[in-house]
Amino acid sequence: MLGEVKQMTTEEREETEQENNLSPLVNGTQELAALHARIAPHFRRAEVRERARRFLEGLLGRVERKNGWQLAEELGESGPQGVQRLLNAADWDEEAVRDELRGYVMEYLEEEHGVLVIDETGFVKKGKKSVGVARQ
């Protein structure tokens, strides 16, 4: 009947809340797959394409610091060499990937007077031996 209100049990409410909380993750995974499909043709070898996909997942993951060692751990690798090789020696068309990423961002964020601000704040330096901590 119209106007009839269905009472949800606590279990049903918790299940609905959990589904709502997971929805962005599912969509995020789908969006990442779509983005990777766009840039994948610009990586010449299958191994490099796969590492690029996993690298993107690592960048979007919950890793506190996004350095070579931390990303390698997140990707299940024994050291940062693979991640570093992807960025400095693998055979891929950087300009084409940049252009694809720019197109992707423009599709979702384009506004007549829009501005995109990217802030790389890094992490707080602590201690006496960390690089950049000493008085300049």
Q: Is residue 102 part of a domain?
A: yes
Q: Which domain holds residue 78?
A: 10-109
Distance, in Å, from the CA atom of 58 to the CA atom of 76, rounded to the nearest integer, reads 10
Q: Is residue 120 part of a domain?
A: no
Mean pLDDT of the chain: 81
Q: Is residue 125 part of a domain?
A: no
The number of distinct structural domains making up the chain is 1
Specify the pLDDT at position 64.
82
Q: Is residue 53 part of a domain?
A: yes
Mean pLDDT of 83-94: 92
| 129 vs 110 pLDDT, higher one | 110
- Give the Cα-Cα-Cα angle 23, 34, 84 (nearest 5 degrees): 105
Q: Is residue 2 part of a domain?
A: no
Q: Is residue 132 part of a domain?
A: no
Q: Is residue 114 part of a domain?
A: no
Give the residue from 63, 91, 89 showing the smallest Cα distance to 75: 63
Specify the pLDDT at position 127.
67
Q: Is residue 130 part of a domain?
A: no
pLDDT in tens, 41-86: 999 999 999 999 999 888 888 888 888 888 888 888 899 999 899 9
Q: List 43's β-bridge partners, or say none.
A: 92
Specify the pLDDT at position 39.
96
How many CA atoms are closer than 13 Å to the CA of 71, on its beta-carbon side? 21
91, 44 in Cβ contact below 8 A? Answer: yes
